[in-house]
Amino acid sequence: MKRALFIATALLAYTGCLQAQSSDSTIYTYDTLKTANGEQIFHAICQGCHMPDAKGATGAGSYPALAGNPKLASPQYMAAVVLFGRHDMPSFEMKPSTHRSFFRDAMLTDEQIADVVNYVRTHFGNHYTHSITAADVAAMHPQTTAPTPPSH
Amino acid sequence: MTRRDLLRLIGLSAGGAAMYQAMSRLGFAAESPYQGTPLLHGAPRGTSVVILGAGLAGMVAAYELRQAGYKVQILEYNHRPGGRNWTLRGGDTYTELGGYTQHCQFDRGLYINPGPWRIPYHHRGLLDYCKKLNVPLEPFVQVNHNAYLHNSKAFDGKPQRFRTINADYRGHIAELLAKATQQSKLDTQITKEDQELLLDSLRQWGALDKNYAYVSGPGASNRRGYAKPPGGGLSAKPVDSQPLQLHDVLNSHLWEGLTDGENFEFQTTLLQPVGGMGRIGEAFGRQLEGVIHYSAKVTAIHQDDQGVTVSYVDARRPGHTSTAQADWCICTIPLSILSQIPMNVSAAMSDAIGAVPYAASVKVGLQFKRRFWEEDDDIYGGVTATDLPINTISYPSCDFNRKGKGVLLGMYAYGLNAYEFTALTPEERVRKAVEYGAQIHPQYKQEFENGVAVAWHRSPFTMGCFAAWSEELRAKHYENLCQIDGRIALAGEHASYLPAWQEGAVTSALDVITRLHQRVVAGGAA
């Protein structure tokens, strides 16, 4: 099944008509997630909390809007939040899983983090012109060497 | 003979391990830190406590403190008691963040527990409150040998019975180990006498034949099932089944699903409240009628020499901030939300509150026109594990063999898949659960009627499922989180070593009220 989905994903991406927000949303596996670009990552993961229109939501607490949020002026800040998490938001840093848990952490490459930051900063009414690169994100890791992805 | 004498005797004759086992059984070396109801004597008259959150932690604290003579009030965001102790039934309406509203259309008597759904037998605190509050329990089936293990990439995607994988995995391993023993490959490891015993035990454990081989025959069929099971009458003779090859069993990775039920928290016996987990929260709510102020969103928590002032907005009076005052405050608000609420506590506690990410989880309940898993597949309760994004199908542990409709748990996703299902609309989650589940139970397509989906990061009252502590975070922040800071103390599953379990909430609340009471009796805030 997962293989079938992977093929379907590849085909859709190839024909250029993949719309993660369509009624037939792709469900990624830990392996196929590596193929996702910034737009796809936003719709597969980020919008769960920040909402499909990036306007956030409020209940007993709030998920911040990513549309029109002045904090987006700093792509480094955004990348840091995605890398290391903030409050209840988990970290998406590519790191060896150390803690024993019944679920695996979802992890994004530096390139994917840069891509999703750049996507958000140029959509939802955001019009920032300077972008962030994978190398910029790589430089933000605590260790100086690029982290190696965990074995599967 | 006293219990102590008995223990000493067991200890002398059978060694420490047996002693520990016996102690556990007699309730001495209990696994849960639960010590019974704390005895809180001598509370100064009129001492008041404001409790934030009417989940299990908040209501346990309120229940006990009120009995001890404290003046207690609870502020609760929802319009119902229970928090994550919650059951969705037909007629219920649930609106998640983003404004997506679901109207549960289950038939009368059918339900799904979006949050906790099983109670291990050693969660003694929670079980004790079920007894006190007259919440009837029934068995929760975790391991069902006739449920499925499923890997979409093995056996052409055809689900395998837990029973056959379990029997074949064990049988082949027993045979291999028996061979190694017979070929004298263990001679340096164990004595000849022990080798004889080992062979005997392997024959029994693996259902091996007289030659220590795992082959088709009555022994193997009795474990893995028959090609044609025995019956009565003329054509009743059973036909043995054919074991799978070891290579196929190993290559399928289905052995990964064999040990879940052997983990401490999933060992038989597990229990569930009759009628849904939410019965516990509802029972507490009745006990605490008049104590709980519902629909109150806490906006600020402030303490000074005189006491604690909590600001809140009642959803029925939007735009108007009210305050509640008390000598002390027990705050059970999840850290996901508390990290956003202004509160003057120490920097160390504040850092702890802001440091813990929340795990994602999604559950989907599906109603079907008939209980086909029982009628067609002989599955009564238990869990099917799959590599599909739905992760789990669980069959109801109630109303067995009843005619008519049934509701099963059609998805229990966590990790990456939980993020992804959270990002979909509730309708899409239900549709995906039906699509994926139909790969295991083709009956889904004909029999599906309706469903509800709860993604915990979209829950307005928790914004996440549970506190996902890592060992590093625990080392750095846990003790700071659990301190009494002036007049404020925290409780909840997040303040426990039992994350996501209701027992964590119960024992954390009992621990905090015991310490708080000591401080009150000793003369007030530090």
Contact with chain B for residue A13, Cβ under 8 A: no
> What are B327-379's pLDDT values in tens digits?
999 999 999 999 999 999 999 999 999 999 999 999 999 999 999 999 999 99
Does the CB of A98 have a partner CB in chain B at under 8 Å? yes
The two domains B48-82+279-356+470-522 and B161-252 share their CATH topology (first three levels equal) = no
Length of chain A (residues): 152
Question: B523: pLDDT confidence band, cut at 50, 70 and 90?
Answer: confident
Q: Is B113 helix (H, G, I), strand (E, B) or coil?
A: coil
What average pLDDT does range B392-410 have in this prediction?
Answer: 98
Is B438 a residue whose pLDDT tops 90?
yes
How distant is the alpha carbon of residue B17 from its chain centre? Answer: 28
> Which residue of chain A has the CA closest to B350?
A87
- Which is higher by pLDDT, B42 or A151? B42
The arithmetic mean of pLDDT across residues A8-29, rounded, is 49
Beta strands B71-75 and B48-52, pairing class: parallel
CATH architecture entry for B161-252 = Up-down Bundle (1.20)
> Once rounded to an integer, what is the mean pLDDT over residues A90-94?
93
Rounded to two decimals, the ipTM of the complex is: 0.89
SS3 B70: coil
Q: Confirm or reject contact between A73 and chain B (CB < 8 A).
A: no
Q: Average pLDDT of B57-74?
A: 98
Q: Which chain A residues touch B334 with a CB distance below 8 Å?
A: 88
Return d(Cα A103, Cα B472) in angstroms, integer: 17
Q: Stretch B37-49: mean pLDDT, rounded?
A: 92
Percent of chain B whose predicted confidence (pLDDT) is above 90: 92
Rounded-to-integer distance, Cα B249 and Cα B247, Å = 5
Q: Using the predicted structure, report yes or no on whether residue B174 has a pLDDT greater than 90.
A: yes
* Burial letters B73-107, b for 16+ CB under 10 A, else e: bbbbbbebbbbbbbbbbbebebebbbeeebebebe
Length of chain B measured in residues: 526
Yes or no, beta carbons of B471 and A27 under 8 Å apart: no
Please name the residues in contact with B375: beta carbons below 8 A apart, sequence gap of 6 or more. none
What residue type is B399 in one-letter code? D
Least confident residue range of A73-87, A115-129, B19-33, B151-165: B19-33
CA–CA distance from B181 to each of B186, B220, B275, B311 (Å)? 6, 21, 52, 72
pLDDT higher than 80, residue A44: yes
For residue A140, pLDDT beyond 50: yes
**Nearest in space to B206 (alpha carbons), one of B230, B222, B193:** B222
Res. B27: pLDDT tops 60: no
pLDDT value for A105:
84
For the structural domain made of B48-82+279-356+470-522, what CATH number should be given? 3.50.50.60
User: Is A57 an 8 Å CB contact of chain B?
Assistant: yes
In chain A, the domains with their CATH numbers are: 37-138 (1.10.760.10)
What Cα–Cα distance (Å) separates residue B124 from each residue in B30, B34, B135, B484, B504?
9, 6, 14, 25, 11
Q: Is the pLDDT assigned to residue B124 strictly greater than 60?
A: yes
Separation between Cα atoms, residue B149 and residue B160, nearest integer Å: 5
Total CB pairs under 8 A between chain A and B: 128
Domain locations along chain B: 1-30, 48-82+279-356+470-522, 88-146+268-276+361-458, 161-252
d(CA A52, nearest CA chain B) in Å? 8
Q: Which has the minimum average pLDDT: B12-21, B228-237, B464-473?
A: B12-21
Tell how far CA B279 is from the center of its chain: 16
* CATH fold for domain B88-146+268-276+361-458: Polyamine Oxidase; Chain A, domain 2 (3.90.660)
Distance CA B413, CA B394 (A): 12
Q: Is it the case that residue B503 has pLDDT exceeding 60?
A: yes
State pLDDT tens for residues B243-301.
999 999 999 999 999 999 999 999 999 999 999 999 999 999 999 999 999 999 999 99
Are B153 and A89 an interchain contact pair (Cβ–Cβ within 8 Å)?
A: no
Which of A1, A63, A99 has its CB closest to that of B388? A1
